[in-house]
Amino acid sequence: MTVRAALFDLDGTLVDSLGDITDAVNHMLAGFGSPSLTAPSVRKLVGKGARNLVRRALGTESQDDITRALDLFVAYNSSHIADKSSLYPGVREALQQLAESGIRMAVISNKHEALCRLVMEALGIARQFEIICGGDTFSEMKPSPLPLLRVVERLGVPPYEAVMIGDSINDVQAGQQAGVTTIGCAWGYGGEEELTGADHRAASFRDVTAILLNGTLAGC
């Protein structure tokens, strides 16, 4: 199999954003007079977008409260987007290498698209990607296959020549349903058990490039 497109998850895959997400969650909780959460607790809530994150952090089903919480979270996170966030080791080099080898690249995140763009600009990787989309870009977010199918269509690449690289079950399930090969990243926020369905497992970014460039993908 020739890999023509690499579709990357963002939080927990390219960027370690947990510190800033935790601060934004705690800013939001303070606005409700609720106690703070630790980073390991917030880590378990990341993955299905900001609305789901604030709903679970606050422990409410009130749509009014969730909307207010979301506004507080997004406003704080927008102005503290990369105070503590950084790229995972090897990301910059890997993106350069993949770009040089002609692999088309996109980010498909469940984070708001505007926040994706902000953090990617701040960390200097936005220009490496032809397409950047977030949880609010399409009518459905991962684990729906829809964002992946829309992106490969826009790239003009068939799903079977694309690979989804991510750290959570949302990435693995979206990839499986889209007919895209999946690489599970062991360094992210998803637990070990979330990646059992992935076609490949990467322990570092070096593994990701080796799998993408050396033709070691299943079915090669």
Ligand X SMILES: O=C(O)COP(=O)(O)O
Q: What one-letter code names the amino acid at 23?
A: D
Site map for ligand X, 109-128, x if CB under 6 A?
Answer: xxx-----------------
Provide the β-strand partners of residue 6.
105, 163
With CA atoms as reference, report the closest residue to 69 among 55, 59, 82.
55
User: Strand 162-166 vs strand 5-8: parallel, antiparallel, or unpaired?
Assistant: parallel
CB of 45 to ligand X, least distance (A): 8
User: Known catalytic residue: 20?
Assistant: no
Q: Between residues 56 and 200, which has the closer beta carbon with respect to ligand X?
A: 56
Which residue out of 9, 16, 20, 207 is catalytically annotated? 9
Provide the β-strand partners of residue 2.
none
The Cβ of residue 101 has, within 10 Å, a number of other Cβ atoms equal to 11
Mark the segment that binds ligand X (CB under 6 A) among 6-14, 27-35, 84-92, 199-207: 6-14
Residues of this chain, 198-217, that bind ligand X according to CB under 6 A = none
CB of 118 to ligand X, least distance (A): 13
Which of 24, 29, 46, 202 touches ligand X by CB under 6 A?
A: 46
Cα–Cα distances (Å) from 38 to 51, 54, 61, 69, 81, in that order, read: 19, 14, 22, 18, 18
SS3 216: coil
Q: Between residues 47 and 159, which has the closer beta carbon with respect to ligand X?
A: 47
Mark the segment that binds ligand X (CB under 6 A) among 40-48, 60-68, 73-81, 88-96: 40-48
Mark the segment that binds ligand X (CB under 6 A) among 31-39, 41-49, 150-158, 179-187: 41-49
Is residue 85 within the footprint of ligand X (CB under 6 A)? no
Query: Known binder of ligand: residue 64?
Result: no
Which of 9, 16, 20, 207 touches ligand X by CB under 6 A?
A: 9
Query: Known binder of ligand: residue 171?
Result: no
Maximum distance among all Cα pairs of the chain, rounded to whole angstroms = 55
The DSSP result for 58-105, as a single string, is HT---HHHHHHHHHHHHHHHHHTTTSS-EEPTTHHHHHHHHHHTT-EE
CB of 111 to ligand X, least distance (A): 4
Q: How far apart are CA 13 and CA 36, in angstroms?
A: 25
* Residues that constitute the known binding site for Mg(2+): 9, 11, 167
- Give the footprint of ligand X on this chain (CB under 6 A): 9-12, 46-49, 53, 109-111
